[in-house]
A and B are shown apart, each in its own frame.
Chain A
């Protein structure tokens, strides 16, 4: 069974903290994505990566950065968390050179106080 695993289901952080959200996939997929899900706003793409050490900005990259040092792992970094970054964060992956059939993780609900 294919798996995209996000390290935390719930996370509570304070304003100004540096936050790391981790995602690991076991499908040998080349592409990995970070989405943010907010009620009434759907899924919005933050960053994606199509290869190790490669990254591309999505629609809402401000306030975020990413790291992909290994093929199976894609990290989302909030350099200085703010309250408007309270959200559900979803990681996803797909096979090479396609956006077909995204496999999503279970999500991390981040609260920034």
Chain B
């Protein structure tokens, strides 16, 4: 089955700096890579996702990059703000009719220091 490794487990940055979280996956059949953000005491919510036919995707201050050859993908947050403080989870899995399973990384706790 799929195995997703996520690093680092904790990350502290100064407000305004950039944050990068990295994930690797093992199953070459995976072609869908979402990122979820979970604020303290709240439910995880999808913030961005990427499919394997795309190398990079941006949405305002967040971006995700994918290297299929090396089997790794990363989340980049620029100009960090205190409200970016949360636990971030990467995930990997197949995409297509009948595909249901996602394997999640163990999470990265991001703290943005004002």
Asked if A and B bind, the verdict is yes
Q: How far is the CB of B29 from chain A (nearest CB, A)?
A: 13
B68 adjacent to chain A (CB < 8 Å): no
Name which residue of chain B comes closest to A44, CB basis: B104
Whether the Cβ atoms of B97 and A104 lie closer than 8 Å is no
From B1, B44, B49, B107, A100 is in contact (CB under 8 Å) with: B49
- How many chain B residues sit at the interface, stated as a range, is 20 to 34
Number of A positions contacting B (CB below 8 A): 26
Q: Which residues of B contact A21 (CB under 8 A)?
A: none
Whether the Cβ atoms of A59 and B95 lie closer than 8 Å is no
For chain A, residues 41 to 61, give those with C-beta under 8 angstroms from any C-beta of chain B.
41-45, 48, 50, 56, 58-59
Q: How far is the CB of B51 from chain A (nearest CB, A)?
A: 9
Top-7 shortest CB links A-B:
A42-B106, A104-B43, A43-B104, A42-B104, A97-B97, A104-B44, A99-B102
**A residues touching B (Cβ–Cβ < 8 Å)?**
4, 31, 33, 40-45, 48, 50, 56, 58-59, 90, 94, 97-102, 104-107
